[in-house]
Amino acid sequence: MKISISIISSAIVATLAGGIVASTLLLHSAAAADKDTPAAPPAIVTVYIDEHFSSVTKINEAHNTYFAKGYRFAGMTSHQENGDHKGLWITYVLKE
C-alpha cells in the first residue's frame, strides 16, 4: 500500500500546529495565573559572604535574616582560590 507524501506531510503539519496552539494556550494561562498570584519564595537559597576572613558577624546576620523568613540552615562551603580563603557559600532551605 502506498501512502502519498502529501498525506504524511499534512499529518505532520497538523500535529505541529496543534502542539503550537496548545503550548501557546498553556503559556498564556500560566502567565495570567502568575500575574494574579504572588510568587512563592524559593525553596532553596544560597548566599555568598564575600569577605577575606568571613566574619562571624556577617554569618550571624545572614542566619538571622533567613531564619526570620522561615528558612533553616542546610550547609556551608568555603570558597578558596589558590589556597586563599575568599568567602563562604551558605545554603538555606525553606521549612516545611
The 10s digit of each residue's pLDDT in 40-83 is: 778 999 999 987 665 788 899 999 999 999 999 999 998 888 88
Which three three-digit cell numbers place residue 29? 494561562
Quote the DSSP letter at residue 2: -
Domain of 19 in residue numbering reads as 1-37
Give 96 or 80, the one with higher predicted confidence.
80
Residue 19 shares a structural domain with residue 61: no
60 and 30 in a common domain = no
β-bridge pairing 71-81 and 84-94: antiparallel
User: Do 49 and 22 belong to one domain?
Assistant: no
59 and 81 belong to one structural domain? yes
Say whether both 59 and 33 belong to one domain. Answer: no
Q: How far apart are CA 57 and CA 14, in angstroms?
A: 62
Q: Where are the alpha helices (DSSP H) in 1-96?
A: 5-36, 56-68
Same structural domain, 87 and 57: yes
